[in-house]
A and B are shown apart, each in its own frame.
Chain A
């Protein structure tokens, strides 16, 4: 009788602990899933989900499965804050991995700070996210930042036979910061460069005609644009019709991933082939370090797409860092994971990336290249495509 009771008591004691161990690790993922930004946001969530599925198939991390809760942030800072708080307060998520625009990122970072939840930003680029006055122990970024992107662009444009350069960017943190970084750096590299025009359409603009006309009037020889996502599709359709690309002889670099496969694929023959662009990933990128080929095969199968999206990788890498940090900390406690993330190096499909302690920023470079038509694919690709290591751009 006593033995039965003891066993029963032991079972009752172990059960909650076992149940506790079985509870999944919840990760909240606010991401734009509607409208033009969804072109980038939706595949990012899929990439994250693929990694989560892979980890869960191997038994999860620390014996616990990972549960990814995605929410549509509508690429709006206010909405992102709202869904982030709902995820934290209602769903009790342990971590946040997400946001896309540079308006959402800093806003959600504040929420993460106050609730002491680790927040890994896989996409927002604005320097302000990790700037000295905004940095806190819980925010981390595995995307490139505007300093890296602006300076990489400056290096490329400096090699062009041009002196009159114009910029066009959305009037918010990302557009402003990347343009500023570009202008500062190109003036250093090539003092003869003159910025003849700057246009600032609002984020979400649908009619770019007046901006395009105004810019063409100043007769620039080259353009640096950071119009992104579905907005780039609309912009370039209108620009092409007005002869914008011809006017600058295709000396145009589309930052904000205008060279990404999903952009070129969705535009088909309408794409202004001949411009430069960048991208986080490209399934056709051949000479790469890291297990890229194998990753591409997996994501292609997961997305059921022969030409898989380039954005999945950022969701994937974001989750990679989180899981590796949990493993290193041997705990799902936010403070311990935050400490584990400092200086953490992870072998990602694009090579080894390290989150530096100084500003929680990873040395995530991007692929840059000039777009050309390739007989192998029904859309344009960047060729030759080069991975620009950002380490020299990071102060």
Chain B
């Protein structure tokens, strides 16, 4: 009975009510969660599903953010074009970087992803004319919401929303679409092959699969969606800054993925929700959030390596077994 309820649809619908129900701050947090959920899920395609540990995923996030930022702010191009451009450009970079990365394994792979991410950071940091350098690019314009306001004017109980609320709705819809697409990818034969590659790359090679090509494809897809997340984030953050591509950003999203659970699709999104919520709570009491995060991470690694989703799943399995025996 519980399986039949379309939980994801309910959560999605409920998310639309956040601006009406909560304060501006909750909309802000929800918007943050939604974008990071996409970023973390894109990384999980690489880490959880393909078994490739990337330490440089923030590079594509940063590229996406700067692409949208530069196109919308400096060239006045509309969001309709600038947003997909973020994904396309990030995907292209992922193609070039990934081509070299997938030829390596394990620690070398991780190091090269890190090196490429730092290269992206160094360029964003020093290319003052285009990226604004150290200052970054403050004031990325919001997309034009006139059409949405016109629609809202017709419907009775809707309307009176701020621009930031409209952007939240837009992010929600776009991220939902992206997550749906990623879900399709993961469930497809391609996605299943990735899991096979993760479990035993030699066996995959043996049965004739071009492992490298699959890994590269996963790399590009992951990078492209990270770029889309970045494009949204640049606007949400009201500014694009070089540390979007710095390696500590990559580790933040990796921790989120681990926290939520790398073994499930919804895990990383859950991790994003929990981590951002937890951050908010802790920061009001103490400035030592990294200490708390580090301790949580240690507990996770030793006790709950499957993350929250993993822990929930194993608990559910135990319950089912007990009820089956009863």
Contact = CB atoms under 8 A, between A and B. Distances in A.
Query: Is there a contact between chains A and B in the complex with CB atoms less than 8 Å apart?
Result: yes
A77 B241 contact: yes
A5 to B, nearest CB: 35
A188 interface: no
Given A89-B23, A89-B24, A171-B126, A78 B237 contact: yes
Interface of B: 23-25, 28, 125-126, 128, 133-136, 138-139, 237-239, 241, 243-244, 287
Contacts of B244: 78
Given A77-B241, A81-B237, 13 more contacts: A72-B287, A78-B241, A81-B239, A89-B24, A90-B25, A106-B135, A110-B138, A110-B238, A114-B238, A171-B126, A172-B135, A173-B135, A202-B126
Contacts of B133: 171-172
Contacts, number: 62
Name the interface size band of chain A: 20 to 34
A103 to B, nearest CB: 4
Interface of A: 72, 76-78, 81-82, 85-86, 89-90, 102-103, 106-107, 109-111, 114, 170-173, 176, 202-203
Nearest to A134: B139
Contact of A85 (B28, B125, B135): B28
Given A77-B239, A78-B243, A81-B239, A172 B28 contact: no
B243 A107 contact: no
A81 B236 CA distance: 11
B134 A171 contact: yes
A85 B126 CA distance: 27
Contacts of B241: 76-78, 107
Main SS class of interface, B: helix
Contacts of B243: 76, 78
A86 B28 CA distance: 9
Contacts of A77: 134-136, 138, 239, 241
Nearest to B243: A78
A103 B126 contact: no
A203 B134 contact: yes
A111 B238 contact: yes
A334 to B, nearest CB: 16
B23 A103 contact: no
B128 A107 contact: no
Contacts of A107: 135-136, 138, 239, 241
A85 B239 CA distance: 12
Nearest to B24: A89
Nearest to A113: B139
9 smallest A-B Cβ distances: which pairs? A172-B134, A78-B241, A89-B25, A107-B138, A110-B139, A90-B25, A103-B135, A110-B138, A89-B24
A171 B239 contact: no
Given A76-B243, A106-B135, A107-B138, A81 B126 contact: no
A281 B241 CA distance: 33
